[in-house]
Amino acid sequence: MSVSSPHRKSRRAENSRGPKNAPDATLVEDVEPSGDIQDEEKPLRYIIQNLERTYGTPENRRGPRADPLNMLVQIILSQATSDTNSDRTFAALKKRFPTWDAVLRARESTLADTIRSGGLANQKAAVIRDVLRQIREQCGALDLSFLHDLPTEDAVRYLSGFRGIGPKTVACTLLFACRKNVFPLDTHIFRILRRVGLLPQKCTDARAHELMNRIVPEDKFYSFHVNLIRHGRALCRPRDPLCEQCPIVEYCDYGQTLI
């Protein structure tokens, strides 16, 4: 089945076409426990290209050897709050506790008070201290810099072994700090990929991460992740999405039902 209706040959669609020798589609097959199969062809390269035309091509400006432990804690603090707020909360944490050993020695209530402005302070404080304890027990030191040199699958497996750390936190840590090809999914990204048809409507968090890690082009993990978030905030909103302005509506199952 064609993704776009044959009678809708808009100028935007024509401009989105790539060269004939480019890979023109990614076949997504996802078998759920219920037996449902997602087998729609989606030209993923062109979806990414159109998002970059609209929002630019974001670059990871962190150093190539950014601190994975810093990033891991930042991602924990970013949950259920804005980027600005989580950055401010992380700065307050580092100012109060200059080392991770100091965080681990502190009372959990003191840590929670320090990160209170980021929301969910008690839960986040408990997770951070538990993760630090696990790292200390496994590594003998509060240092995750060795993740830079691990193969991607091994790094994913290692971080996934910690209690309280889910697929998104693992993926963000490795993509942002280590520049490994691991694709994080947040609420915005789940919504868009389901609407487009790249993910089944019923898909577990772990399965969705596994699927996207398989189909995203090697050099587009960071760009696609950031631009999907931008797109979810600007146009593909939870309610009243602005489909008429959408740069990827030609490829979107949901959008095609509305315009």
Predicted confidence at residue 259, as pLDDT, reads 83
CA distances from 42 to 36, 199, 201, 216, 225 (A): 18, 11, 16, 12, 17
Decide if 49 contacts 225 (C-beta within 8 A): no
pLDDT in tens, 122-162: 999 999 999 999 999 999 999 999 999 999 999 999 999 99
Percentage with pLDDT > 90 across the chain: 80
What CATH number is associated with residue 235?
1.10.1670.10
Predicted confidence at residue 240, as pLDDT, reads 95
Q: Given 160, 178, 196, which residue is the final one in a domain?
A: 178
Query: Is the predicted pLDDT of residue 170 greater than 60, yes or no?
Result: yes
Whether 122 and 189 share a structural domain: no
Calpha distance 41→16 (Å, rounded): 16
SS3 255: helix
Name every residue whose Cβ is closer than 8 Å to that of residue 103 and which is 6 or more positions away in sequence: 93, 97, 111, 128, 129, 132
More confident: 164 or 55? 55
Whether 200 and 242 share a structural domain: yes
Confidence of residue 208 (pLDDT cuts 50, 70, 90): very high
Phi, psi of 27 (to 5 degrees): -90, 120
Decide if 30 contacts 203 (C-beta within 8 A): yes
Q: Record the tokens describing residue 125, joined without a space.
A: 């404080």
Active site residues: 168
Query: Is the predicted pLDDT of residue 32 greater than 90, yes or no?
Result: no
Task: Indicate the helix (H) or strand (E) that contains 31.
Answer: strand 30-31
pLDDT in tens, 174-207: 999 999 999 999 999 999 999 999 999 999 999 9
> Helices (DSSP H) in the chain: which residue ranges?
11-16, 44-55, 68-78, 83-96, 100-105, 108-114, 121-139, 152-160, 167-178, 187-196, 205-215, 221-234, 253-256
Whether 53 and 90 share a structural domain: no
Whether 249 and 164 share a structural domain: no
Is 3 a member of any domain? Answer: no
Whether 112 and 43 share a structural domain: no
Name every residue whose Cβ is closer than 8 Å to that of residue 59 and which is 6 or more positions away in sequence: 222
Q: Given 127, 155, 178, which residue is the final one in a domain?
A: 178
Query: Is the predicted pLDDT of residue 37 greater than 90, yes or no?
Result: no
Domain interval for residue 91: 68-178
Amino acid identity at 209? H
Confidence of residue 223 (pLDDT cuts 50, 70, 90): very high
Predicted confidence at residue 41, as pLDDT, reads 63
Q: Record the tokens describing residue 118, joined without a space.
A: 């980021």
Q: Given 158, 178, 198, which residue is the final one in a domain?
A: 178
Predicted confidence at residue 64, as pLDDT, reads 86
Q: What total number of domains does the chain contain?
A: 2
CA distances from 147 to 8, 97, 111, 228, 257 (A): 48, 23, 26, 26, 44
Name every residue whose Cβ is closer than 8 Å to that of residue 130 and which is 6 or more positions away in sequence: 163, 164
Q: Which residues of 106-137 are buried (b: 16+ CB within 10 A; e: fewer)?
A: beeeebbebbeebbbbeebbebbbebbeebee
